[in-house]
Structure 1
Amino acid sequence: MATAVEAREWARGALRGIGDSLYTPLGGADGDDIDWDAYRTLVRYCVGDLGHPLLWCTSGIAEFWSLTLDERKLLLEIAIEEGRAVNPDVVVQACTAAMSAKDCLELTRHAQEAGADIVYIQTPMMETHGGEGVMRFFRYIADRTDIALGMFNSPSSGYVLTPAEGARIYDEIPAVCATKEGAFRPAASRMLHHLAPELVVWECDKTVYRAGWLRDGIVCPAQLGTAGYLFETPDRPIYSEYWELIVAGELLDAMDYARESGLDQFDIDMGAWFTCYPGRPDYFTHWGGAFKFAASVLGLPIGSYPHSRPPQAELPALAQNEIRVAYRNLGLVG
């Protein structure tokens, strides 16, 4: 675990590779229960079978908004226990976003005590007074904890920090060392790097890596939180091989590999089911049911209740069919 003082030096060396954002397997009526055995299997699969070096816990794909504080704490504890039993050096990242600063503080303190390496705070989902409100939120947490902190700038919050606002948080709060820029606005990430050049940035828009932004130091060699385990299998680790080419700076080879392996076509075939609900197409979401259905196609356990907890909708048959076809076209399933 990196303390607040150590955070920035630690982040520049430790945050490397594919970071898996874990879903929450559910069971029982309306998904009221969590299938803990399935979750343990998922952690071991990501860290052991796939060899991915980072975990991203209790965030959007995990449907944190539908979980109790106790459930979120136990999910993190199990990820630490199972992940480090396979790889003692696995980096465990915890998202502690919550609807109140006090709940976020409780989760952040727990992550610190449980042995997480870094905590990410998503831009608050409740009413927030712009960057000033987000700054106050971060300061409240930082003043009461001693762990590395990251920003998670996602449109699902309803408010996205400007580059100047993100740079100010970095400048004024020493524990802040990294950011997941999830708004798909590369120009803003480039400006953020200009304003805070030592901040570790992951841009969710994958095209910037093909444009040489990693080589230029604008973005980092880590995927801080993605569903990389849904893009490959142990027998066909195409996503890891693609990422290794990107990190090595072999960009033309990486682009050829993505085309020839089917990864580029897979993005097209999958459509926008992971992040877009058709009934509200203007809103960015983490559709938990879509991620879990994709996992089930690959044979991963998702629990006896395959849907998301309310208020998310159930995944329609059209989405299920398109996801199945995408995996068959990619060759990851028969």
Structure 2
Amino acid sequence: MKYTKFEAKDYARETMRGIWAAALNPFHADGSFNEAGLRQNIRHWIDDLEIQGLFIAGKQGEFFSMSLEERKRNMTIAVEECGDAAGTIMSISDQNVNTVLELGLHAQSCGADYVVVHAPVLSFCHDRDEVLYNYYKYLCDRLDIGIAMWSHPDSGYLMEPETCARIAELPNIVAIKYSVPRDMYVRLTHMIGDKIHVSTSLEDDWLDNIQELNWKLYLCSSPPYQLQTKNDKRMHEYTELAFAGKMDQARKVRDSLDPVRAAIKRTKPGGKPTAHGKYWQELLGQVGGSVRHPMLELSQAEKDATRAAFEQCGLQL
């Protein structure tokens, strides 16, 4: 590891910056893991799109459909391809805490920079503060790597800002991916923004959060490689303009991507987000591939509508 447990916060504040993307995992038609396809995508994302970090084996990557060994292999491939050119944060989320720890130890040993752990499903539990604090403390006590919290509606609840702030005091908590309404993450940023990174996955708010909340990290979803091509890196461009304080220019570039955002939004079937994301990747020349159960594939009509919208959205290939 590049830091000790008690250096984790300072290291993350210095190096965990810019645009980090959540990787979709390509699978072959027979369901097997397309390792070569993933390596090809990672090289494109880093070398061509200048993405600064990758979120591996998360919900976008269909970790819930992968075996334990596949998840470990997913991490190892990402570390090998990213090298020193981009950071890595590995999702080690699972309902079984022993699985979380096993994946966390693998992330440490294979050279990952950080891990992320989503809040567990807590059936019948309504007073969650102590439960969640002890859950993350249990992991922090047993892992040295920097850990990001992750709260999202799929857990059945949202972690309260006060709970997150308490957990943020643990020595190797370095960030939170906070998939919550904006008023909640604004409040948390004002509470602990000088201690850990607070971020959310909604690209629509990224520029406002740089300007109004002084955020330095986009953590993270698929827009960084779905809104951009080697010849059209407008998300990277508006981010760099914003970091340089050139907000008017940044906003113009950001707003110019509205047709692309609209094309994705209006063609994405509500029950098939992963398949749509992978097909959009294929239209961009990336490796998309199949999804695994329980996710559903696009119909031909859905592909045709997506292709038509893609061709009219204005991205320069």
TM-score (norm 1): 0.86
Deviation at 1:2, TM superposition (A): 3.6
- The equivalent residue for 2:310 is 327
- Which residues of structure 1 form unaligned runs of 5+? 279-286
* Matching residue's letter, 1:150: A
Structure 1: how far apart are the matches of 2:88 and 2:117?
A: 14
- The equivalent residue for 1:177 is 174
- Cα-Cα RMSD: 2.2
- The equivalent residue for 2:228 is 232
Give the alignment of 1:35-114 within 5 angstroms.
Answer: 35-84=34-83, 88-114=84-110
Structure 2: how far apart are the matches of 1:302 and 1:62?
A: 11
Contact 1:327 1:333 in 2 (8 A): no
Alignment of 1:288 onto 2:274: yes
Structure 2: how far apart are the matches of 1:125 and 1:44?
A: 35
Contact 2:197 2:217 in 1 (8 A): no
- The equivalent residue for 1:299 is 285
Deviation at 1:142, TM superposition (A): 1.0
Query: Alignment identity in percent?
Result: 27
Deviation at 1:257, TM superposition (A): 1.7
Alignment of 1:270 onto 2:264: yes
* Matching residue's letter, 1:323: T
Structure 2: how far apart are the matches of 1:101 and 1:273?
A: 38
Aligned residues: 312
Q: For residues 126-168 of structure 1, give each alpha carbon's deviation from its aligned partner in whole angstroms, at most 9, with x where no partner exists.
A: 6373333322221221111101111112222222111111111
Bigger helix fraction: 2
* Matching residue's letter, 1:178: A
Structure 1: how far apart are the matches of 2:143 and 2:14?
A: 22
Contact 1:270 1:322 in 2 (8 A): no
Secondary structure of 1:299 counterpart: coil
Contact 1:2 1:118 in 2 (8 A): no
Alignment of 1:25 onto 2:26: yes
* Matching residue's letter, 1:115: G
Deviation at 1:37, TM superposition (A): 0.8
- The equivalent residue for 1:284 is none
Contact 1:54 1:90 in 2 (8 A): yes
Contact 1:23 1:62 in 2 (8 A): yes
* Matching residue's letter, 1:197: G
Secondary structure of 1:177 counterpart: strand
In structure 2, the CA distance between the partners of 1:288 and 1:208, relative to structure 1 (3 Å rule), is closer
Structure 1: how far apart are the matches of 2:301 and 2:158?
A: 31
Which 10-residue stretch deviates more, 238-247 or 124-133? 124-133
